[in-house]
Structure 1
Amino acid sequence: MRSLFNIIRVLWLYLWAIIATLVLAVPIIAAGLLSRTGNLAFSLSKIWAWTMLAVSFVRAEIKNRERIRPATSYIIISNHQSLYDILALVTTLGIQYRWFIKKEILKVPLFGYGLYASRNIFIDRSNTARAIESINRGIDRLPPGVSIMVFAEGTRSPDGQIHEFKKGGFVTAVRRNIPILPVTVNGSRRILPKGSLVVRPGKVQVVVGEPIDAGAYTLESVDKLIDETRRVVITNFDPGYAGRFLT
C-alpha cells in the first residue's frame, strides 16, 4: 500500500510540474525577451516555485532575512542537500539573483530556455577558460543589485553532510570585490534526498549568515575566505531539522 501511495504521489507531482512549466514557460520566455534585465522573468519563476512547494505540501521559511542589504549584489553561497533547496531559496530570500548553471541544462525543453531568458549564467565546466569567460560576460550584463547564487559543493550532498567548497564563486567574489552572503538550507534532504523520487511533506528552513567582505581577501588568501564562509554555513546547519508542515 505504501508503495502504491508513493507512486501516486510521484505522478501527482510530475503532473503539476508539467502543468506549471507549460503554463509559465511562455510568460517567462516573453518576459526575458522583452526585458534586458531578466528581473521580470525571475519574478515569474517564483510562481513556479511556489506552486511546486504548495502541491508538495512543503513550506519554506527564512531566518535572519534582515541581514540582506537592499540593492546590494552578493555572491550567495549555499549548501546543497536537495532539489527543494532551489524552491526554498527562490521563494524566501526576497532578492533578485541568478545562478551559475552547467550549460547542459540549456538542452532541457522550455525549462532551459526559461533559465536563459532570466539571464542566468551558463558555464562549461569541462573548459576552465570558457567557464571564466562565460562568468565574466554574464556578470557584466547583470543589472545593479542582482546577486549570483552558487551551490559551492558543486552537487547535492549524498549523505547529508556539508562537503568541501569549490573555489569558483569565491575567486569571482575576490576579483569583482563582491561580498559573500552565506546561506544554509536545513530540512530539504528529509523532503527529497538525492537519488529519490518520493517527496515528503514538511518544512525547509533557510538561514542567512552575516555578509563577508570579499574585498578583505586576495587570490592568494582565497582559501581563508572559503574556510570562513564554510564555517558560517556549517554553524547554521541543523542536520536533525525536521519541520512539520502543519506546525
Structure 2
Amino acid sequence: MIRIIMVALTVVLFLIFSVPLLGILGARDKKDPEGAQIKSLHIVQGVFRFILRLAGVTYEVQGLENIPADRAVLYVGNHRSYFDILVGYVTVPGLTGFVAKKEMLKIPLLRDWMHRVNCLFLDRVNIKEGLKTILEGIEKVKSGISIWIFPEGTRNENKDMTELLPFHEGSLKIAQKSGCPVIPVAITGTARIFEDHLPFIKPSHVVIRYGEPIDIKELPPEAMKFPGAYTRDVISGMLKDMSEGQE
C-alpha cells in the first residue's frame, strides 16, 4: 500500500507546486514555442521516471533504431495499463502527444500539462468531435509532432496478452491522411504493476518494443483497406515473440 500512497502523493504535489511553472512555460510560448514544448516534455518525462522508480518498475527498450529520426510518426500500441503511458513517454525520442479520452479534460492542472505535451482529447461518442481530434492529430504530425494512440480504445483485460481487442480503423486515419509511418509498439509487464492486483502497486519488469515502420501506402490492397487490423496482427505477433523470449 505504501507504493500507491507515494505515487499518488507525488502526482498531487507535482500538480499543485507546478502552477508557477505552467505560468513560466506559458510566457515562454510567446518567444520560443518549440523550446517550451521540449522543456514541458522533459519535465513530464522526469516526473514519470520518478514515479516508475517509486513503483519499483524497471524497463527495457527494444527497437529504438526503428523510429525515424527525421520525421514525425504515429505510434500504435497495445493497451493493458495506465503505466503504458508512463513507459511510452519516458522512452520516445522526440515530441509526442498521446490521444486520451475526453473525460481527462475534467481534471484541473493535469489537463494543462497534457495540453503542454501535445495530448489530444478524443470524444468516443460524438463522431463529429472525434473527427476534429483526428484532424488535429494530422496537423500535429505535419508540424513534426508524433502522436501515440491505443486503437483498442480501452484497456485490454484478456489473460492472454497476445489476444488484442479489435482495433478501431479510424485510429489509423492520422497516418493515412498525413502520410507518416506507423510504428507498432508492443508492451509487456505493465498490468503487473497495478491492474492485476488493485489497489496495490507492485514492482514489475516492463519490456517495450518499437517495431519496424509500416507505410500504409505500400501495403497490399486488402491490408490497405484495413490498416488497423493489419497493424493489430503485427503487434500481436510482436507480443507472441516477446512472450516466448521471456519463458
Greater share of residues in helix: 2
TM class by shorter chain equals 0.7 to 0.9
Contact 2:74 2:147 in 1 (8 A): yes
Contact 2:217 2:224 in 1 (8 A): no
- Among the aligned pairs, what percent are the same residue? 24
Unaligned runs of at least 5 residues, structure 1: 1-6
Q: Which runs of 4+ in 1 moved over 4 A?
A: 217-223, 239-243
Amino acid at match of 1:46: Q
Q: Secondary structure at the match of 1:191?
A: coil
1:116 equivalent in structure 2: 115
Partner Cα distance (2:75, 2:246) in 1: 24
Amino acid at match of 1:105: M
1:11 equivalent in structure 2: 5
Q: Which moved more, 1:133-142 or 1:181-190?
A: 133-142
Q: Give the direction of change, closer, same or farther, for the CA distance of 1:178–1:128 in structure 2 (3 Å limit).
A: same
- How many residue pairs get aligned? The number is 237
2:189 equivalent in structure 1: 187
2:229 equivalent in structure 1: 227
1:3-47 alpha-carbon deviations (Å, 9 max, x no partner): xxxx33322222222223334454256425533343332222101
Q: Secondary structure at the match of 1:207?
A: strand
Contact 1:106 1:116 in 2 (8 A): no
- Shift, 1:85, TM fit: 0.8
Contact 1:63 1:205 in 2 (8 A): yes
Q: Give the direction of change, closer, same or farther, for the CA distance of 1:207–1:141 in structure 2 (3 Å limit).
A: closer
Partner Cα distance (2:216, 2:23) in 1: 34
Q: Which moved more, 1:18-27 or 1:49-58?
A: 18-27
Partner Cα distance (2:233, 2:23) in 1: 38
Contact 1:60 1:92 in 2 (8 A): no
Q: Secondary structure at the match of 2:100?
A: strand
Partner Cα distance (1:33, 1:174) in 2: 35
Question: TM-score of the superposition, structure 1-length normalised?
Answer: 0.84
Amino acid at match of 2:105: L
1:100-154 alpha-carbon deviations (Å, 9 max, x no partner): 2222211112111111122322222221112112321353256733210001111
Instruction: Output the aligned Cα RMSD.
Output: 2.7
Q: Give the direction of change, closer, same or farther, for the CA distance of 1:138–1:200 in structure 2 (3 Å limit).
A: same
2:75 equivalent in structure 1: 76
Amino acid at match of 1:115: M
Q: Which moved more, 1:106-115 or 1:134-143?
A: 134-143
Q: Which moved more, 1:104-113 or 1:120-129?
A: 120-129
